Amino acid sequence: MAEDIKRQLDPEISVPKHIAIIMDGNGRWAKKKGQPRIAGHKEGMNNVKTIATAASHLGVKALSLYAFSTENWSRPNKEVSFLMRLPVDFFGTFMPDLIKENIKVMVTGFTDHLPDRTRKVVLKAVEDTKDNTGMILNFAFNYGGRAEIVNAAKNLAIEAVNGSIDPNTIDDSMFAGQLLTNQLGDLADPDLLIRTSGEERISNFMLWQLAYSEMVFDKTYWPEYSVENLIDDIKEFDRRDRRFGSV
Does residue 59 have a known ligand-binding role?
no
Does residue 29 have a known ligand-binding role?
yes
Q: Give 4's contacts (C-beta < 8 A, 6+ positions apart).
A: none
Q: Give 109's contacts (C-beta < 8 A, 6+ positions apart).
A: 68, 70, 139, 140, 141, 142, 143, 180
Contact region for ligand V07 (CB under 6 A) — 41-49, 152-160, 164-172, 230-238?
41-49
- Which residue of the set 4, 10, 24, 46 is catalytic? 24
Contact region for ligand V07 (CB under 6 A) — 3-11, 84-92, 152-160, 170-178?
84-92
Could you please report the per-residue DSSP string of 200-211? ---TTSSTTTTT
Among 141, 143, 205, 221, binds ligand V07 (CB under 6 A): 141
Query: Considering only residues 214-233, where is the footprint of ligand V07 by CB under 6 A?
Result: 222
Identify which of residues 109 and 238 has a Cβ nearer to ligand V07 in the complex.
Answer: 109
Q: Give 86's contacts (C-beta < 8 A, 6+ positions apart).
A: 41, 42, 45, 67
Is 112 among the residues known to form the active site?
no
Contact region for ligand V07 (CB under 6 A) — 4-12, 42-50, 160-168, 187-195?
42-50
The C-alpha atoms of residue 27 and residue 38 are separated, in whole angstroms, by: 7
Beta pairing class for 104-108 and 136-143: parallel
Amino acid residing at 104: K
* Burial degree of 88 (CB within 10 A; 0-12, 13-18, 19+): middle
Is 72 among the residues known to form the active site?
yes
Q: Does 139 bind ligand V07 (CB under 6 A)?
A: yes
Identify which of residues 87 and 190 has a Cβ nearer to ligand V07 in the complex.
Answer: 87
Binding residues (CB under 6 A) for ligand V07: these are: 23, 26, 41, 44-45, 48, 67-68, 83, 86-87, 90, 107, 122, 125, 139, 141, 222
- List residues with catalytic annotation: 24, 72
